[in-house]
Amino acid sequence: MLNILSNVSAAAEGREWYESLVSINPTTIVFTLINLLIIFLIFRFLLYKPVCKMLDKRKEMAASEIEEARKAKEAAQKAEEEYTARLDDAKAEASEIMKQATLRAQKREEEIVGEANKKAAEIRTKAEESIERDKQRALNEIKNEISEIVVMAAGKVVEKEISASDNEEIISKFLEEVGSAN
């Protein structure tokens, strides 16, 4: 710094030096403009154009991604509508299947109840017929036994002449025999 001040003081002695710092030199201006133009062209070709190309590519890529996202959204919306339609169809079909199954179950229930009632009626009829046969058989057996008893009693009556005391005796014997026979 002292060096510059000493030079300035020396220059103050000679105005040439000072004038050389402040004066406008046309050659310097021309060279400075040429340097500036060269730097501008270098920056233009080496920086500006590649950066613009990169920005354009980036803009195109963003636009294509936006378009792809829009298409994907439309496809998803279409798939959702299709899924909803299929789901509604499946629900309707399930409802119809349930109705048909219920109708078949009711029809089958009616058939089973009808068959059960028919079988119960057949069993009841067979039981009544069996009871009637057993009743007739019992009546026939009773008639046969009574016939045998009457024949036995008549045989005893025929064997002896019956007096009142004999009659009571025969009846009591008869009742004892009938009671022991059962």
Segment-wise mean pLDDT, segments of 10 residues, the chain, 182 residues: 52 58 80 93 85 91 94 93 92 93 92 92 92 88 76 66 67 72 58
pTM over 0.85: no
Distances (CA, A) of 182 to 106, 140, 162, 163, 173: 55, 15, 27, 28, 14
**For residue 180, what pLDDT is reported?**
66
Contact between 27 and 33 (Cβ < 8 Å): no
**For residue 58, what pLDDT is reported?**
93
Cα–Cα distance measured from residue 83 to residue 150, given in angstroms and rounded to the nearest whole number = 97
Cα–Cα distance measured from residue 176 to residue 168, given in angstroms and rounded to the nearest whole number = 12
**For residue 151, what pLDDT is reported?**
67
| Closest to 17 (Cα-Cα) out of 29, 28, 5 | 5
**Helix, strand, coil proportions of the chain in percent (round to 5)?**
95, 0, 5
